[in-house]
Amino acid sequence: MAKDAAQLITGYHAHVYYQPETKAAAGEIRDQLGERFDVTLGRWHDAPVGPHPISMYQVVFAVTEFSKIVPWLMLNRQGLDILVHPETGNDLEDHRDNALWLGEKLKLNLAMFETA
The whole-number pLDDT of residue 67 equals: 98
Contact 82, 73 (CB under 8 A): yes
The whole-number pLDDT of residue 45 equals: 97
Q: Which of 72, 76, 96 is nearest to 86 (CA)?
A: 96
Q: Average model confidence (pLDDT) for the chain?
A: 93
> How much is the average pLDDT of 59-72?
98
The whole-number pLDDT of residue 44 equals: 98
The whole-number pLDDT of residue 101 equals: 98
pLDDT at residue 93 tops 60: yes
pLDDT at residue 46 tops 60: yes
Q: Structural domain boundaries of the chain?
A: 11-113
* Multiple choice CATH, 11-113, 3.40.50.1100, 3.30.70.1240, 1.10.150.130, 3.40.50.150: 3.30.70.1240
113 pLDDT tier (thresholds 50, 70, 90): confident
User: How open is the CA angle 40-11-5, to the nearest 5 degrees?
Assistant: 165
> How much is the average pLDDT of 4-9?
76
pLDDT at residue 42 tops 60: yes
Contact 12, 82 (CB under 8 A): no
pTM for the whole structure: 0.92
